[in-house]
Chains A and B, each alone.
Chain A
Amino acid sequence: MSSFGFGLGAGLRALTAARLGLQIAGNNVANANTPGYSRQRIELVAADPFAIARGFQIGSGVDVAGITRLVDSGLEGRLRLQMGLSGAAEVDQSRYAEIEGVLGEPDNGLSSSLAGFFGSIGSLQTDPADRSLRGGVVQAGTQLAQGLNLLSNRFSELANSTFNQVSGLVRQVNQHAQAIAALNTQITSIEANGSQANDLRDAREQHIKAISSLMDTRVLERNTGSTDLLVGGHLLVSGDHVSALSVTRDTSNHTAITASNNASITLQSGQIAALLQGESTDVPQLQDRMNRLAHNLILEVNRLQTTGVPAGGPFSTLTSFYGSADSNNNGTRGDELLSQGGFQFPVQNGDLYVTVSNKETGAMERTRIHVDPSAMTLNDFASALNNVNHVSASVDPMGRLRVNSDPGYGFDFSPRLDTNPDGFGSFGGANPTIGSTHSGPFDLSGQTFPVSFTMTTGTASSPTVTNVTLNASSFANTGAVTTDELVSAINSSLGSTDTAANIGGNLVIRSSQGGASSQLQLANVGAGTVLGALGLSTAATTGQDVGVTVQVEGSYSGSNNGNLVFRPSTDGQIGVTPNMNVDVFDENGRHVTTVNVGAGYNPGDPIDLGNGVSVRFGPGQVSATAGNVFSLDVLSNSDTSDVLVALGMNSFFHGTDASDISVNPDISTNPDLFAAGTGPAVGDASNLARMMGLRSTQLSGLDANTVEGFYTNFVGDVGFKSAAATSTLQSQDQLLSQLQSERDSVSGINLDEEMVDVTRYQQSYDAAARFISVVQQVTNTLINIGSTA
């Protein structure tokens, strides 16, 4: 068919197409800066042709096939993923930047407080009695404690702020999810008519991307045009339905994201995932390291402080800061095992050495208390202390240990050397003594109990004979009778006058009368052999007007606790008798050394025993026959049980980690309680030397680092992580912008292109209009043929 109408139809279509094209180009230009806008393009096709004469077909103009969005859906997926990674990197970077700010290194952080603390101890070394320097140690300690508190608080805040941050972000996620669901409905209804909801799809994509930067998403497109959104395996949006997320705290008080069915959601990427990771892992790890630092610092400083001696000398009274908990809930504290006393620093299986000294003479007596936390209660420990001469101990209703000494006496727990180790006078003392030639235990299984021996004391002119009877019931095992059992059995038989004692494992019996005329002789009763079994001589021995003095000096530098036993090699006079030696044995009976004290030795001269210990022997008679012996404790650690630290017996730091470390307020108010020395001398700075040694000690609790080294590594690690987070952020941002430019190159607007399109469609419109006008003229010409002819 052929008619005049044909041209007008094609022209009209061309005009419409050109106008649409112009409109789309205009819309593109208008949205050049709209975020998420995807470039739209008109799709033109040639309209269906129709047949004219002779089988020719002729086109009927142009048809608008549709308006399409230029979107690469694979690229959009990658972009969403990358937004999650970038979001996470951004959170990580800002967190580490904040932590670095909190640390304030390398200038004003904790490193200067740590150095200041050790520096103040170094200053005090110059004058241990100076109160203002002592105040300096307290101040530096307080500053250090507060520095740790501050760090701990800031880390906690960092972790605690996560909940609010995540709550806000999850609210955003839910809002976006609602918007997506609403858009799904609109898009489905619009696209049901076959048209394309391009701008709505762009809007929906924007919401999906907003969620993607917060958490990892998966997008499932349905063929209705609606989109389902999965976050962390949870179907957040399903068509027009939203299953909103909520924020809760889990059992370990960490922030958790739960779906409506209370299922917890695990996220891999996005800002929220990074925040949760920070709260549950990164910040706690840093906090944990700070706490370890504080914990070990408290432990080590307190170990030294509690085994030191304050400026005022040994204590007359001392109450523990911490008490035993009532863990068995029977209403009384102190009857729990030390292992169950709820102490922040656990009591170990070890020994505590208690030193009681006479404040007038300085004479000291040391007692070893074995502490087994799984067999000993605080009450047991108090009664063990109570058994020490001149010391009383009790547990108060708060479960705290209170220790007092008798007037004129003081107690402490220091490892110092006993400067006068022969306090009992069993090494050439003024009173005659007879000691066993070997240390216990003693085999008395061959004896017929009760077994007796006599003891002749007094003077030759007026002797006193005492009978000593030993019963089998006094001994747990007659085949291995301990020295302590013998001492108590003999002392109970002797009454209060003459005395038996345990001197370094040896049994020693001493007459109560001294002086050159005093005597002591032991004899078996009948055909008894008990004295032989005990290694006690039956020879008579005499006392002397002035006993041999033994003085010890120095400070023990060995690494183990030990006990040295000294015996003369023969009978004789110090400094006079030729070839007279003193043999030194260790606590296991092994021979350590031999020193000459006979002719050639000037009485009173120091003899070096090694490990920083020297001994001086005064003049006088000593006897190997009478079993002369004395013992000397050499201690490197006078509290291997940590019971003093656990109880807080004049400890320097209170608390257990970075959050609660503080300086003992008693020491703050009275800096004289700070233990600069290990002995009673006011200028003694030996404990300060130990504390300075702590500075370079590699602590096993700090992965074999020093305190300062551990902290330096900590700062270094934060620096490395922060630097890594920054570089991760940069590279993720770069990837993101690369993907964005790829997206731009597909979906973005190029104004030049659009201007070209505008020009093209304008020209196309012009041409179509001109075509219509031509058709009109042609038609006119045709119509006017008749009228003019």
Chain B
Amino acid sequence: MSLRITQGHLYAVALNDIRNGLGRYTALQHEVATGRRVNLPSDDPAAALRIIPLTNDIRNLDQFSSNVSMARETLDAGASSLEDGSSLMQRIREITVQAANGTLNTDDRHNLGIEVDQLLNQLISIGNSKRGDRYLFGGTASNTAPFTLVSSGNSSRVVYNGNHQSLTVEVAPGLQTALNLPGDSIFQKHSRGDTTFSGGNTGAQPTNHGDTGIGFQNLTVGFNGLHTDAPSTVTAGNGQTTALGPLAYTFTTTPPTLQIGTGAPVPLPANDTDFDTGDGRTINLTVTGPAVPATGTFTSKAGLSTDGGRTVTDVSDFTNTSVVVRNGDDQTVLDVDVRALGRTGQELVKYSGTFDAFTTLITVRDLLRNDQNLPIEEVQSRLSGMLPEVDQAHTGVLDGLRELGFRSSSMDTLTSRVASLKIASQQSLSLVQDADLSQVILQLQQQDMAYTAALQVSAKVIQTSLAGYLR
């Protein structure tokens, strides 16, 4: 028996077909209107699993590109500060050349000294450059000024208060970049080489190990009294002494004299009297009379200091190859071989491979001021000697500038890299999410035709019934 087709069935089928057609029609219309194939996760759950991470990727990349531009601004702010620093160092070089070679009088040099002092303060403020409220060159300690000028006694120096941590920010997936250079790596360098002493002729020798000073220091070699091996009748006088180290002595009783080394015997008693040692050195002694034994050797102690006499290291053993002299201002140490030490005076200590732009400026300034009253030739020669230091400090600033500039320009590359990553993600997203418009519109037209046809045919079929023909 064939299936009976009833009117109810006809209506139901027609209605169902029209409804389905309209449903498909609406779905396609929605796809065209939104331009997207997946508007709800259930439209294509597998695609939804891709769409959410891709959308997040794009948001991340937006974040990265804002980080990149912010990083760029910060790096450029640092670079522009260092450009100022570079032209400042240029001016310092001009001044140094002028003062080393020119026929300047004391006043001219003094005026240049004042200018260098101003430049020093400018350099400090460059080191303390800020962007917004944040110091650029202090590591992560961005709310305290990285560089402060510390003066104690007649020496001044600039200390670094920052740390060595980087302010890092993620600028691309998995790529961190540092927004800053710790200031001490720009203005102070630590690739330590040999330590050299110059100028003093005190006989003190560097040991070339264990030193921690940076740039320049003055090693003051002073007279530090007599060692306990001195005869009981001999004490240090109040006058100037230049002779250090072991000194041979000879007492005579008739008449009572004391001879130091090969110098001329001096009649006793002697009060605050200079004794010539016969080799160009003198020692000022108070001697009450002859002592037993009449001949021997006593030691004139040295006092070594790198902070202008604030912290004095006593030397009584003149066979020591390693005397540690500590600077009370910055706690740096200088290791000194004292075997040849024989005379008071001052050594210019240069820690090669290290430099401190601030110390260089301070040294230049002090030479121009010449508070030590050095002879003009000495000042000029020392200023000439400072030229490589000025250049080195300049190079340090330029290195920092180059590093920041390099990072800043790599931000340019990153901007386009992040942009292209974003485009790639957007393309993937589009592939997964977006409707193929030409295809959908074609389908929409097909659907339109099918829908219209369904309506027409249904209208025909429903109308037809035997009742219409029986009259």
Please list the residues of chain A having a beta carbon within 8 angstroms of any beta carbon in chain B.
32-33, 96-97, 100, 103, 105-106, 111-112, 114-116, 119, 122-123, 125-127, 129-130, 419, 545-546, 549, 553, 573-576, 599-600, 602-606, 618-620, 677, 679, 681-685, 689, 692, 708-709, 711-713, 715-720, 722-723, 726, 737, 740-741, 744-746, 748-753, 755-756, 759
Minimal beta-carbon separation of A446 from chain B (angstroms)? 43
A716 touching B41 in the complex, CB below 8 Å, given contacts A683-B140, A692-B170, A752-B466: yes
Complex CA–CA separation, A151 to B175 (angstroms): 35
A751 touching B466 in the complex, CB below 8 Å, given contacts A745-B3, A745-B5, A745-B9: yes
A111 touching B165 in the complex, CB below 8 Å, given contacts A122-B170, A576-B322, A619-B210: no
- Check: B14 CB closer than 8 A to any chain A CB: no
Enumerate chain B residues within 8 angstroms of A130, measured Cβ to Cβ: 132
Minimal beta-carbon separation of A683 from chain B (angstroms)? 4
Complex CA–CA separation, A600 to B67 (angstroms): 42
Complex CA–CA separation, A115 to B134 (angstroms): 28
In the complex, are the beta carbons of A125 and B164 less than 8 A apart? no
Size category of the B interface is: 35 or more
In the complex, are the beta carbons of B60 and A119 less than 8 A apart? yes
Complex CA–CA separation, A551 to B62 (angstroms): 39
Interchain residue pairs A-B with the least CB separation, the first 4: A719-B41, A748-B6, A719-B45, A575-B210
Minimal beta-carbon separation of B323 from chain A (angstroms)? 11
Please list the residues of chain B having a beta carbon within 8 angstroms of any beta carbon in chain A.
3-9, 12-13, 16, 38, 40-46, 48-49, 51-53, 55-56, 59-60, 62-64, 66-67, 70-71, 74, 132-134, 138-143, 163-165, 167-170, 179, 190, 192, 207, 209-212, 322, 324, 326, 331, 333, 335, 433, 465-467, 470
In the complex, are the beta carbons of A111 and B4 less than 8 A apart? no
A602 touching B169 in the complex, CB below 8 Å, given contacts A111-B52, A712-B52, A723-B45: no
A126 touching B67 in the complex, CB below 8 Å, given contacts A112-B55, A546-B331: yes
In the complex, are the beta carbons of B209 and A576 less than 8 A apart? yes
In the complex, are the beta carbons of A759 and B142 less than 8 A apart? no
In the complex, are the beta carbons of A119 and B59 less than 8 A apart? yes
Specify the chain B residue showing the minimal Cβ separation from A706: B53
In the complex, are the beta carbons of A689 and B141 less than 8 A apart? no
Minimal beta-carbon separation of B90 from chain A (angstroms)? 30
A681 touching B333 in the complex, CB below 8 Å, given contacts A575-B210, A741-B9, A750-B4: no
Complex CA–CA separation, A97 to B41 (angstroms): 10
In the complex, are the beta carbons of A575 and B141 less than 8 A apart? no
In the complex, are the beta carbons of B60 and A127 less than 8 A apart? no
In the complex, are the beta carbons of B142 and A603 less than 8 A apart? no
In the complex, are the beta carbons of B139 and A712 less than 8 A apart? no
Specify the chain B residue showing the minimal Cβ separation from A33: B8
Choice from A106, A679, A744 contacting B48 with Cβ under 8 Å: A106
Complex CA–CA separation, A746 to B6 (angstroms): 9
| Interface-centre pick from B4, B67, B163, B207 (highest chain A CB count, 10 A) | B4
Enumerate chain B residues within 8 angstroms of A749, measured Cβ to Cβ: 6-8
In the complex, are the beta carbons of A125 and B67 less than 8 A apart? yes
In the complex, are the beta carbons of A759 and B470 less than 8 A apart? yes
In the complex, are the beta carbons of A129 and B48 less than 8 A apart? no
Choice from A33, A681, A737 contacting B140 with Cβ under 8 Å: A681
A603 touching B333 in the complex, CB below 8 Å, given contacts A683-B167, A716-B48: yes
Enumerate chain B residues within 8 angstroms of A32, measured Cβ to Cβ: 7-8
Complex CA–CA separation, A620 to B322 (angstroms): 12
Complex CA–CA separation, A708 to B60 (angstroms): 13
Enumerate chain A residues within 8 angstroms of B62, measured Cβ to Cβ: 119
Complex CA–CA separation, A408 to B7 (angstroms): 94
In the complex, are the beta carbons of B322 and A573 less than 8 A apart? yes
Specify the chain B residue showing the minimal Cβ separation from A689: B168
Minimal beta-carbon separation of B445 from chain A (angstroms)? 24
Minimal beta-carbon separation of B235 from chain A (angstroms)? 21
21 A-B residue contacts at CB 8 Å?
Answer: A33-B7, A105-B40, A112-B59, A126-B70, A126-B179, A127-B70, A129-B143, A575-B209, A575-B210, A575-B211, A576-B335, A605-B192, A682-B143, A708-B53, A716-B46, A719-B40, A740-B12, A741-B9, A741-B12, A745-B3, A755-B470
Complex CA–CA separation, A267 to B44 (angstroms): 32
A603 touching B210 in the complex, CB below 8 Å, given contacts A746-B4, A755-B465: yes
Choice from B46, B48, B192, B333 contacting A105 with Cβ under 8 Å: B48
In the complex, are the beta carbons of A100 and B466 less than 8 A apart? no
Enumerate chain A residues within 8 angstroms of B209, measured Cβ to Cβ: 575-576, 599-600
A685 touching B168 in the complex, CB below 8 Å, given contacts A720-B45, A741-B12: yes
Enumerate chain A residues within 8 angstroms of B4, measured Cβ to Cβ: 744-746, 748, 750, 753
Choice from A553, A604, A681 contacting B212 with Cβ under 8 Å: A604
In the complex, are the beta carbons of B167 and A755 less than 8 A apart? no
Complex CA–CA separation, A723 to B3 (angstroms): 34
Enumerate chain A residues within 8 angstroms of B169, measured Cβ to Cβ: 125-126, 685
Minimal beta-carbon separation of A126 from chain B (angstroms)? 5
In the complex, are the beta carbons of B41 and A106 less than 8 A apart? yes
New A-B contacts (17) at CB < 8 Å, excluding given A111-B52, A718-B41, A722-B40: A33-B7, A105-B48, A106-B48, A125-B168, A126-B67, A126-B179, A129-B134, A553-B163, A553-B165, A618-B212, A681-B163, A715-B41, A715-B49, A716-B49, A719-B41, A740-B9, A745-B4
